Chain A
Amino acid sequence: MTAPDIEDLLRELAPQVLGALVRRHGGFEDCEDAVQEAVLAATVQWPAEGVPDNPRGWLATVASRRLIDRVRSDRARREREAATAAEAAHTEVPDTDDTLVLLFLCCHPTLTAASRTALTLRAVGGLTTAEIARAFLVPEATMAARISRAKQRIKAAGSLFTLPDGADPAERLHVVLHVLYLIFNEGYTASSGSRLHRADLAHEAIRLTRMVHTQLPEDSEVTGLLALMLLTHARRDARTTASGDLVPLAEQDRTTWDPALIDEGTELVKAALAGPALGPYQLQAAIAATHADAPTAAETNWPQVHALYLILERIAPNPMVTLNRAIALAETEGPHAGLALLSTLDSDERMAGHHRLLAVRGHLLEKTGDLAGAHEHYRRAAKATAGIAEQRYLESRASRVRRPGPEAS
């Protein structure tokens, strides 16, 4: 087994072993540390000595020993219990999959979004603190403190290791899906210098969402989110040039889109839309599938895109959705109709001075032939964005409309 295979295996097993350990001993906080130590031990030992016959049992044994080391100070008692626990662990790692329970715990309502993503990647994703720190471009000590604080909060909240019951399972699942979506986006909006690690985050988000989909195949929003990720990920190579410049959807080389991911994503969209309830992830996935279905940008079914944004706007009103609908409306009814819709967003303080609103207005003004207005808005959008690739792109748009020449035609 190669090192990457071992890594995949460890990431798959870590949440299972953690679930079993928490069920057996209680105390998520200590169990999580113990499993992390066992995983680190395995990454050193397995490549050198070979993967044990029962890797899950091995991890459970080592993690149990570490856990007991942590909680017992009496040496004789520690050894006796470690031996017992080791024996028990071999026989008692149940086949039940606690991944969902772990996910719900890591996405606990008392945590901030940043803490939820970090804890989810560590406890469910099986990533080390160092790997998570690298992916989010912070020092390992910063990430370790954040994870430790998150676990203390969960402990203080007195959470039980069960799926949430009562009124809020749907609400809690929504939080879990949002965390997975954030992890994906973090990887998708990769900025310069860190593309490699952050692309891994997109991959990790897809893997975790697949796990949830396996557990909840009937949930249309889980299916929708997985489809959205696959359809978006299918375009990853076309999104940027070799030098890291952004390529907008309309100008992407569609032959480089990943057909296998598009096929899988499209099938999932169909399955999700056949379900009883319509949700935001399904609709966004349906929009992505509509784009994926067009062999060229000119062949895009814009009336369908617009209709889907209209439904999305009704079930989940959000100025960003209205903004995207304005682009689709401009394609079906002309740029002036799009601009008229944009003007309804001017009074929304969430959007005031937002670079996306400025950029879209610049784009639609360019289509009307108002190049001076387009230039002005692209420049302001470039100043307002926090993304360096996006800034370069907007600046290039601005100079293109100011100096219309052979390269702009």
Chain B
Amino acid sequence: MQFLISLHINPAVLDALTDEEKAAIGEGHGRFIQAIKQSGELITTQALVDPSQAAVVTVRNGQPAVTDGPFLEAKEHLGGFYLVDCEDKDRAIELAAQIPDAAIDGLGVEVRQVMFADGHLEA
């Protein structure tokens, strides 16, 4: 079963962390990636640039328009994700709990099952 573990970040919360805390998050992700690579559960993981760099694209009457993002008027934004293939939802939740963000107030870790997939993996 494939699950997307999405990481919802709050830039203000991240900015308020000490350097040591930021380094600990980085190391925590590094260890997590290593562990789920070895267990054969990681499909891919990606982290995104700061939400302030987002461009919002709309097409009205066939005319595309681009405005500065982010799209959501919220404090939290998608910061990155892990795509995993694991035994069941319980295991996906167990994995999500190992991500350092889950232990920090103001950061969100969300688990959702994949319903449809296409692309190079099906080669």
Contacts and interface: CB of A to CB of B under 8 A. Distances in A.
A197 B115 CA distance: 17
Interface string B70-87: 000000000000000111
Interface string A81-125: 000000000000000000000000000000011110010000000
B87 A136 contact: no
A145 B40 contact: yes
B38 A149 contact: yes
B121 A114 contact: no
A146 B86 CA distance: 10
Q: Chain A: interface secondary structure?
A: helix
Contact of B122 (A114, A194, A387): A194
- A interface residue count range (under 10 / 10 to 19 / 20 to 34 / 35 or more): 20 to 34
Contact of A149 (B39, B87, B114, B115): B39
Interface string B92-118: 000000000000000000000111111
Interface stretch (B4-12, B21-29, B41-49): B41-49
Given A138-B43, A149-B40, A193 B118 contact: yes
Interface residues of B, number: 22
A114 B116 contact: no
Contact of B115 (A115, A118, A194, A391): A391
B47 to A, nearest CB: 18
Interface string A152-175: 000000000000000000000000
A388 B116 contact: yes
B26 to A, nearest CB: 23
Highest count of chain B CB atoms <10 Å: which of A114, A134, A138, A387: A138
Highest count of chain B CB atoms <10 Å: which of A149, A386, A387, A391: A386
A388 B43 contact: no
Contacts of A142: 40-43, 85
Contact of A114 (B43, B86, B114): B86
A33 to B, nearest CB: 16
Contacts of B113: 386
A43 interface: no
Nearest to A141: B37
Interface of B: 1-2, 37-44, 85-87, 113-118, 121-123
8 contacts: A114-B87, A137-B2, A138-B43, A144-B40, A145-B38, A193-B117, A197-B122, A388-B115
